[in-house]
Amino acid sequence: MITLSRRALLASTLLPLGAALAPARAQSAPDFGKVAPPIFSALAKANDIPGLVVGITRKGEHEILAIGQTARTGGQPVDGDTLFELGSVSKTFIVALAALAAERGQLDLNAPLEKVAQRLTGTAFGALTPLDLATHATGGMPLQLPDSIRNEKELVEWLAAWKPAAPPATRRAYSNISIGVLGLVTATALGVSFPRAAQRDLFPLLGLNSTYIDVPEDAMARYAMGTTKDNKPARLTPGLLGPEAYGVKSTALDMLTFLDANMGVGTVEPDMARALARTHTGYFETKSYVQEMVWERYPWPVGRDRLLAGNSADMAMKPQPITRLDPPSPPAPASFINKTGSTNGFGSYVVMLPAEKLGIVVLANRNYPNEERVKAVYALVEGLRGA
């Protein structure tokens, strides 16, 4: 089943009193309802995805394409309010919270971690900063913690003994550990748990009404069931650093609102706006993109092959050369900014073209290859721009 819907940005959540909605797109603009269905119907079929929701925001106007069901068997039709696991797209919220804490003077992003964790004094990890964690500039930290690490005390002991594969500012490797620890450090600075800080403070500030770490009982009926590679039902299993690194669940409509806030569409509180802008400062250059705080920035226009290289498994899983930008690169409107995310049973992809105030979110209840997500979204962008 395929459904299309349209919704304007809600003035009550992001626009100040008396402000007007962003102007509608020109009548000559290519129609989402014609461009998107063939691309994403083919994507869902080719990757055996039970349910997929694609959303776009163009200057604050939201449109949704929904394909399929919330579960392989016994599900309901997906829509813009269906909850999906975001996987590593969750990290974009973690850095937003860290940047907000920095804006409020509660966290120094450039202070060594040993300043907030005495056990790490004199260690390689203690010499890193929150900003190093937010940009994967740790010198090659593993993707996941060893299975033997079961609590925060054992985590700190492991971090104290960890040795980088190379100097932190010369190589990068994607790591759930580094971003997870950033979540813990930020929560410590705020004096609350990370789930409480995110759900009580961050999500409401962003105008998000259906975004959770812990899905409440009254929202469980909207929570899609994931599908593993061998077609078994799956949802995220709680674990150490899970809430911080990959634990957010959200809807396509909420994610479009989040992308609007990142692109300066509508209004959020001034400190939140500054925090989001800080997350789009570029700190390192890789062979494919500029590394912001978790977000990955490409120049726009950009070729599809460069996007595929930047979102490849090698780029994420193997240490990569990086060059520190001095001074850091300010937010660049003429950019293609993206982030992928996956859990065992879900796959997500979010994209922004700030200069065009265009944002795209793709949520699915199956983990499928990043390159397929990139190809589909790139085709959508070309179609929407009349290329």
Catalytic residues: 88, 174
CA dist 69 and 75 (Å) reads 5
- Written as one letter, the residue type at 159 is L
214 contacts: CB under 8 Å, gap ≥ 6: 195, 199
Q: What are the helix (H) ranges across the chain?
A: 11-14, 32-46, 91-103, 130-134, 152-161, 176-190, 194-196, 203-205, 242-246, 252-262, 270-279, 304-310, 313-317, 370-384
Neighbours of 150 (CB within 10 A): 12
Contact 139, 123 (CB under 8 A): no
Q: Which two tokens stand for residue 310?
A: 């930047």
Total residues found in the chain within this entry: 387
Q: Calculate the alpha carbon distances from 362 to 1, 40, 136, 291 in Å.
A: 17, 9, 24, 22
Helix (H/G/I), strand (E/B), else coil: 350? strand
CA dist 199 and 202 (Å) reads 6
